[in-house]
Structure 1
Amino acid sequence: MLLNRPNILVLSAGRRVELVRFLQRSLADYVGKGAVYTTDMVPETSAACQVTEKAFSVPRATDANYVEALLDICHEYDVGLVVPTIDPELEILAREKNRFREMGVEPVVSEPELLSACHDKRKTGNLFLSLGIGYPEVYDSDQLRFPCFCKPFDGSRSVGAKVIESASSLSEQDRTNPKNMFMELIPSSYAEYTVDGYYGLDHQLKALVCRERLEVRDGEVSKGITRKDFAYEHLVNRLKSVPGAVGCITFQFFVNSYTQDVKGLEINPRFGGGYPLTHQSGAPFTDYLVREYFLGDSLLFNGEWQDGLMMLRYDAAVYCTHDD
């Protein structure tokens, strides 16, 4: 692919300052021109919107006017690449992809079938199993084994997820809620891994980085370390081709270093909050985006990233003048 429009639009930019800056650097390094723009419902209070060339206020992704607002921005500001960052945007962009393409704009979004399998956790398990990757056992609501794990099949960021210790602690509301699914509880001997995969326009894996989550704050990793271990070797061949995958795909796994058991948990087909660690380890996905979409490069697989690189996050701020 060779986009003629030189600018990038990052949606729902929020606090994603590092992602925006990585994209700015990639554009400068490989194209030498172009700008990174951002959207947010309230860009005046978005840190990432303060570090871009221009930021736009748009309605919520579920609003009927959302797509028209994005198309207007792309048309007026010569946007060639649209990068979503939150789940509600994905299916909308996939459904309306042709409208963007008619303008010469490419949304970085996977195919609808994969999005559906990622969104519906009941389908996620089948996808992992089809790739030769284990998945926690799913229980029927009338055949539970305790303790077990309960979560909505369409949930995100652990909202509504809980451990059910025993039959006496299972409420009737949880048991009969049609959105709840009940799963095998994975013991604490398993570590949590987030695995970032970059998939080219050919749906083939171009890079895969495993990072262990050492500490999580508000659902996002605050301390992590890259691991090129047995889990990487286990996954790199199994994930080399995922039908419909495009761009950054963020996988979640449970990993037992003693038994070398690996179980899939979730798939988020977008950039995750911990992506900066992957980037700094030597797998710059934003470079890959710019090279594929703006230069038409065919990417080779990159396995040369740094093992044992630790990320220790801290609070930082963007300071700007606000006009009432």
Structure 2
Amino acid sequence: MGNILITSAGRRVSLVKAFIKELKAINSEGKVYVADAFPKLSPAAQVAHKAFEVYKINNSGYIDALLEICKQNKISLIIPTLDTELLGLSENRKKFSDINVQLVLSSENFIKTCNNKLSTHKLFNKLNVSVPEIYSKQNYKLPLFIKPLVGSNSVSTHIITDKHQISDYLLQNEKLQFFEYLNHDLYDEYTCDLYYNKSNELKCAIPRKRIEVRGGEVSKGLTKNNEVKTLIDEKFAYLDGARGCVTLQLFMHKETKAIKGIEINPRFGGGFPLSYLAGGNYPKWIIQEYILGQSIVYFDDWENNLLMLRYDDEILIRDFED
């Protein structure tokens, strides 16, 4: 049994701690390492067994650097955490499998679909899940929501309530798309943590209502076993190419309970610690499935109405040299 490498660890302290806990329960000698472009400034790097400095993801040497880390440190499993690294890793999956390293990663086609908002909308339509209306830049209704076709963490998004807010830049930028705006006064927003086995079968679904968001990541959240969970079980029981943790973003109308699909991210979400603490032990299941070769049974006994209130904490490093 080898060690685990979590890439682009950044601030994911809770995720690293969860993998350390679950790996130790199965293999007391197993180690959880992290890779990061700036490990000295990464909180998660401070709690891992060891941290490795690697190139930034867009550097051509990134994949080779990870391969070398795997060879030198008996890595058997990689957990990617950042959208921008998923496609590159999937394209190089064979290089890792050739050295007996498994990637907990969805298929290349599924990642490409999730990376593009219009392709994701087509997938929702295929699954018979409603989506916000897509507007042309010549024919739209206010208010509207502008966001990049490719992107995450609410980067370069705009809520438009008056046509005078629409600049030439917004109109001419082909990377930006106009969408129906779903008002939070009318809709509740949910980020749902889904676990898919290697056969793309759903084994757990935990919807988290987003009460407050900071920097694109939930700071206050609540687990809810409601109509959102019912829809997931009906529409997402099988998702071609999905493997490991997949985060699904949905909006549900507060009165009518109508649900609309927004995004799918084939990775651990920043708010996953709530699902883990509610009983969704995805790190344990990943170890069981990928390292021990065990089958994962459907799990539905997670804690409903569990509220998470996140706060900043400090990690202090003595005699630090920059």
- Normalising by the residue count of structure 1, what TM-score does the alignment of the two structures yield? 0.96
Task: Provide the residue aligned with 1:302 in structure 2.
Answer: 299
Offset at residue 109 of structure 1 (A): 1.1
5 Å matches for 1:3-42? 4=1, 6-42=2-38
Q: Does 1:277 align with 2:268?
A: no
CA distance in 1, matches of 2:227, 2:66: 43
- On the 8 A contact 1:198/1:207 being kept in 2, the answer is yes
Offset at residue 163 of structure 1 (A): 1.4
Task: Provide the residue aligned with 1:196 in structure 2.
Answer: 193
Offset at residue 145 of structure 1 (A): 1.5
Task: Provide the residue aligned with 2:239 in structure 1.
Answer: 242
Aligned partner of 1:214 among 211, 216, 231: 211
**Partner deviation per Cα, 1:77-136 (whole Å, 9 max, x = no partner):** 000001111111100100000000000001111111111111110111111111121100
- On the 8 A contact 1:281/1:309 being kept in 2, the answer is yes
Aligned partner of 1:293 among 283, 290, 295: 290
Task: Provide the residue aligned with 2:92 in structure 1.
Answer: 96
CA distance in 2, matches of 1:256, 1:144: 21
**Partner deviation per Cα, 1:197-230 (whole Å, 9 max, x = no partner):** 0111111111000010111111111110100011
Task: Provide the residue aligned with 1:231 in structure 2.
Answer: 228
Aligned partner of 1:69 among 48, 65, 68: 65
SS for the counterpart of 1:14 is: coil
Aligned partner of 1:153 among 136, 149, 153: 149
Q: Does 1:144 align with 2:140?
A: yes
Offset at residue 312 of structure 1 (A): 0.6
Q: Which amino acid aligns with 1:51?
A: V
Q: Which amino acid aligns with 1:316?
A: D
- On the 8 A contact 1:9/1:79 being kept in 2, the answer is yes
SS for the counterpart of 2:113 is: helix
Identity percentage over the alignment?
38
- On the 8 A contact 1:31/1:294 being kept in 2, the answer is no
| Structure 1, unpaired ranges of 5+ | none
Q: Which amino acid aligns with 1:133?
A: V
Offset at residue 33 of structure 1 (A): 2.8
Q: Does 1:259 align with 2:262?
A: no
Aligned partner of 2:309 among 292, 312, 322: 312
Offset at residue 143 of structure 1 (A): 1.3
CA distance in 2, matches of 1:291, 1:285: 10
**Partner deviation per Cα, 1:232-289 (whole Å, 9 max, x = no partner):** 1122221111110011001111111320111011111100100000000011110110
Q: Which amino acid aligns with 2:106?
A: S
SS for the counterpart of 1:212 is: strand
Paired residue total: 320
CA distance in 1, matches of 2:262, 2:321: 45
- On the 8 A contact 1:197/1:206 being kept in 2, the answer is yes
**Partner deviation per Cα, 1:17-54 (whole Å, 9 max, x = no partner):** 11001001111112333100011111111111111111
Give every structure 1 segment of 4 or more consecutive aligned residues whose post-TM-superposition deviation is greater than 4 Å: none
SS for the counterpart of 2:295 is: coil
Task: Provide the residue aligned with 1:116 in structure 2.
Answer: 112
CA distance in 1, matches of 2:165, 2:309: 37
CA distance in 2, matches of 1:257, 1:200: 32
| Structure 2, unpaired ranges of 5+ | none
CA distance in 1, matches of 2:174, 2:214: 29
Aligned partner of 1:43 among 39, 44, 47: 39
Q: Which amino acid aligns with 1:260?
A: K
- On the 8 A contact 1:213/1:221 being kept in 2, the answer is yes
Shift in alpha-carbon separation, 1:238–1:179, aligned structure 2, 3 A: same
Task: Provide the residue aligned with 2:55 in structure 1.
Answer: 59
- On the 8 A contact 1:225/1:310 being kept in 2, the answer is yes
Offset at residue 166 of structure 1 (A): 3.1
Offset at residue 144 of structure 1 (A): 1.3
SS for the counterpart of 1:68 is: helix
Higher RCO (CA-CA < 8 Å; seq separation 6+):
1
Q: Does 1:130 align with 2:126?
A: yes
